[in-house]
Every structure is written in structure tokens, then in C-alpha cells.
Amino acid sequence: MTTDLKEKLTPILGRIPSGVFILVASDGESRKTGLLASWIQQASFEPPQVTVAVNKSRYLIDWLKTGSAVTLNQVQKGDSTLFKHFGKGFEPDAAAFDGVDTVMGDSGLPLLRAAMSSLEGTVTARMDAGDHVIFLVTLTNSIAHRDIADFDPFVHIRKNGFSY
């Protein structure tokens, strides 16, 4: 990419809004973790699907295979507890959910009660996207943890289109 193009894109690309979620996944055995994720977008009405972009530097991409269950827990605007807790990241064997109020979802993965809502789904496709991997998730269940009329989602808008 040319310097001129990057300079043009930098202030504009980062202004594309996206929701803030905690992505929960399992290694398929006993380990489960959560990851702060802000590149999640609805991709299809029928079937209901979303895309999730995960940086290639995250070990979690090795856990996300076709058929893997995930939960996407939507963070409320102004919530600093979930944001701070999961924003730091966890090592694969760390107890990522200690001190976090959870309930088990249909998928066997934790749903975060402090979130506005939780979406459960299954990874159905994966695509390489430069420094990220994009996962297509087909949604199988949703739980509102509070009155939908009170939903005010945490929306992430970056100042720079080339960094978080």
C-alpha cells in the first residue's frame, strides 16, 4: 500500500463502528476462554450469521474450527468490568471466568450475565484476511440478559484505521 493511500484511509477506516463483544470458545476438551472482540458484524438474515475477525497472533484461532461452538456476549455501553477483565487477554490454561457471573448455554459454553445479551452459534467457515482470520458463525440461540428496551450497546470507533 502506498503511503498516500494509507494516509487517506487512516482517519476514515477507523471510524467504521462495530460492536464490542466477549467471544467465548473452547479447545474442544476442558479449556474455555473469553476474548474481547470488536470486529463482529451481521452477515446474513437466513440463516442468521455473523462474521468474527480474530487477530492471527491470538491462540484462539487454533480453537475455532468448523463445527466449533462459540458464544458472543454483547457488552453494554459504559461497561468497564467486562471490557477490562477480558481486554487483557488470557493464557490458554488461565481461569478466564473467575469472578465473572456466568450461566451455561445450550452449547456448553459460559454466557456472561453482565452482558446485554448472548448469542450462541457454530463456526461454519473460515477465511484468511491479512493479519486476521474471519470466521463465519451460524447463530443457534440468543439470550437477552436484560430488557431489550434498555439495550445500549458498546460501540467501538477507532481513531486510526490501522490499529486497535
- Amino acid 141: pLDDT: 97
Q: Are 66 and 153 in contact (CB under 8 A)?
A: no
- Amino acid 93: pLDDT: 92
- Amino acid 144: pLDDT: 96
- Amino acid 15: pLDDT: 87
Q: Name the burial class of residue 59, with classes exposed (0-12), middle (13-18) and buried (19+) by CB atoms within 10 angstroms of its CB.
A: middle
The three-state DSSP-derived secondary structure of 95-139 is: CCCCCCCEEECCCCCEEECCCCEEEEEEEEEEEEECCEEEEEEEE
User: Which structural domains are found in the chain, ordered by start?
Assistant: 20-98+114-147 (2.30.110.10)
What is residue 15's three-state secondary structure?
coil
- Amino acid 44: pLDDT: 96
pTM of the model: 0.92
- Amino acid 102: pLDDT: 97
Regions of the chain short of the pLDDT cut 50: none
Q: Are 36 and 83 in contact (CB under 8 A)?
A: yes
